[in-house]
Structure 1
Amino acid sequence: MAVLILCEVVTVGAVVANMYAATADFTRANFVLANSTKVGVPTSWLPLLGTLKAAGAVGLLLGVLGVRYIGVAAAVGLVLFFLGAIGFHVRAHEHHFVNTTVGYFLLAVAALVASIAQEVAR
């Protein structure tokens, strides 16, 4: 039981973090604009990137609420998304914001492990 609660806490943390990141993309926060310029991502991509993060967050939330396969799929999508983002940072030799991106990646991996653990436990 405690493991399932921990899994849900980790997943909800990933939901909150990704909704924050999506909101920053949608509102074109200054740090998002600076980061996209440094890594060579056109600002016209921001609505799509925000939508992908928000969709991942909603999918994780659906997983917590009982639609487990959607939660697993959303976690896989976020892991792949942030792997791509890390690739953009590495390609651009941008090492300041990559730490944050790696953090989001690790949170997505934790949510994936949590989603799979919840599925196996049921």
Structure 2
Amino acid sequence: MNSVVLALTVAVSLAFTAAGAAKLAATDDMRRRADHLGWSVRSYRVIGTLELAGAAGLLVGLALTGLAVAAAAALVMLMAGAVAVHLRSGDAVTAAVPAAVLGAATVVLLVLRVFVVDAA
């Protein structure tokens, strides 16, 4: 396993775990964000569950390539949706930056897994 892929997998998984756990716990900040975006707390908890499942998929995917690829692809789509929701809600572009950066890091991880690590 490539050390860059391992480090990026752990970093991306930790970021999604933190974000997902906060949504699942419905912290005050997440409740405010959900309300601002026009989402219910229940819907935000579903998103948090998906983020946690994706993070777990990336980690388990260290041993199972197909799972890593599927989890990364799903997380990229989730982050693309997050960016779209922020922009649609009238937020400043800067509000979408965290989702865009996390999505971009996940794209890099996906590309590395498909074309570099597992192609070797």
Check whether the contact 1:35–1:97 (CA below 8 A) recurs between aligned residues.
no
Which deviates more, 100-109 or 75-84? 100-109
**Partner Cα distance (1:30, 1:104) in 2:** 22
Q: Does 1:9 pair with 2:7? A: yes
Query: Could you say what secondary structure the match of 1:97 adopts?
Result: helix
Which consecutive residues of structure 2, in runs of 5 or more, have no partner in the other structure? none
User: TM-score if structure 2 supplies the norm length?
Assistant: 0.89
Q: Does 1:70 pair with 2:67? A: yes
**Partner Cα distance (2:31, 2:22) in 1:** 9
Structure 1 residue 119: Cα displacement:
1.4
1:24 paired residue number = 22
RMSD over aligned CA atoms reads 1.5
Structure 1 runs (4+) deviating above 6 angstroms are none
2:90 paired residue number = 93
Which consecutive residues of structure 1, in runs of 5 or more, have no partner in the other structure? none
Structure 1 residue 16: Cα displacement:
0.6
**Partner Cα distance (1:90, 1:27) in 2:** 25
**Partner Cα distance (1:89, 1:109) in 2:** 20
2:110 paired residue number = 112
**Partner Cα distance (1:98, 1:34) in 2:** 16
Query: 1:33/1:97 Cα in 2 relative to 1: closer, same or farther (>3 Å)?
Result: farther
**Partner Cα distance (1:75, 1:46) in 2:** 20
Cα deviations by residue, 1:65-93 (Å, 9 ceiling, x for unpaired): x1011001100000001101111111101
Determine which structure has greater relative contact order: mean sequence separation of CA pairs < 8 Å that are 6+ residues apart, divided by chain length: 1
Structure 1 residue 30: Cα displacement:
2.3
2:77 paired residue number = 80
Structure 1 residue 105: Cα displacement:
1.2
User: TM-score if structure 1 supplies the norm length?
Assistant: 0.88
2:100 paired residue number = 102
